Structure 1
Amino acid sequence: MLLAIDNGNTNVKFALVNDAGEIVCRWRIATDPKRTADEYAVWLNQLAEMEGYSRKDVTAVVIATVVPRALHNLQVLATKYFGVEALVAGRAPIEWGIALRVDEPRALGADRAVNAISAQALEAGDKIVISFGTATTFDHIGADGAYLGGSIATGVSLSLDALYEAAAMLPRIAIEPPPTASVIGRDTVGQMQIGIYWGYVSMIEGMIARMKAEIGRPVKVIATGGLAVLFDKHADLFDRVEPDLTLKGIALLYANRSQST
Structure 2
Amino acid sequence: MILVLDVGNTNTVLGVFKEKELLVEWRLSTDAKRTADEYGIQVMQLFHQRNIKVEHIKGVIISSVVPNIMYSLEHMIRKYFDLIPMIVGPGIKTGINVKYDNPKEVGADRIVNAVSAHAIYNRSLILIDFGTATTFCAISKDANYLGGTICPGIKIASEALFERAAKLPRVELIKPDTVICKNTVASMQSGIIYGYIGQVEYIVNKMKSEMINVGEEEPFVVATGGLSNLITKNSSAIDEFHPNLTLEGLRMIYEKNRE
TM-score surpassing 0.5? yes
Aligned-pair CA distance for 1:22 = 1.7
Q: Counterpart in 2 of 1:184?
A: 180
5+ long unaligned stretches in structure 1: none
- Partner amino acid for 2:226? G
Aligned-pair CA distance for 1:224 = 0.4
Matched residue SS, 1:125: coil
Aligned-pair CA distance for 1:255 = 1.1
CA distance in 2, matches of 1:71, 1:227: 24
What RMSD over aligned residues (CA atoms) do the two structures have, in Å? 1.1
| Structure 1 residue 41 corresponds to structure 2 residue 37 | no
CA distance in 2, matches of 1:57, 1:170: 51
Deviation track 1:233-257 (CA, whole Å, cap 9, x = no partner) reads: 2232311101111111111100122
CA distance in 1, matches of 2:248, 2:148: 21
CA distance in 2, matches of 1:163, 1:22: 41
Q: Counterpart in 2 of 1:130?
A: 128
Across the two proteins, how many residue pairs are aligned to each other? 255
Matched residue SS, 1:234: coil
5+ long unaligned stretches in structure 2: none
CA distance in 2, matches of 1:199, 1:133: 17
Deviation track 1:3-61 (CA, whole Å, cap 9, x = no partner) reads: 10101111111111112x22111111111112111111111111111111122121111
Question: Which stretch shows the higher mean deviation, 161-170 or 223-232?
Answer: 223-232
Q: Counterpart in 2 of 1:82?
A: 81
Q: Counterpart in 1 of 2:29?
A: 30
Aligned-pair CA distance for 1:158 = 0.5
CA distance in 1, matches of 2:69, 2:239: 34
TM-score (normalizing by structure 2): 0.95
> After superposition, where does 1:14-163 map in structure 2 within 5 Å?
14-19=14-19, 21-92=20-91, 94-163=92-161
Q: Counterpart in 1 of 2:239?
A: 239
TM-score (normalizing by structure 1): 0.95
- Partner amino acid for 1:59? K
Aligned-pair CA distance for 1:91 = 3.9
CA distance in 1, matches of 2:63, 2:148: 19
- Partner amino acid for 2:49? M
Matched residue SS, 1:56: helix
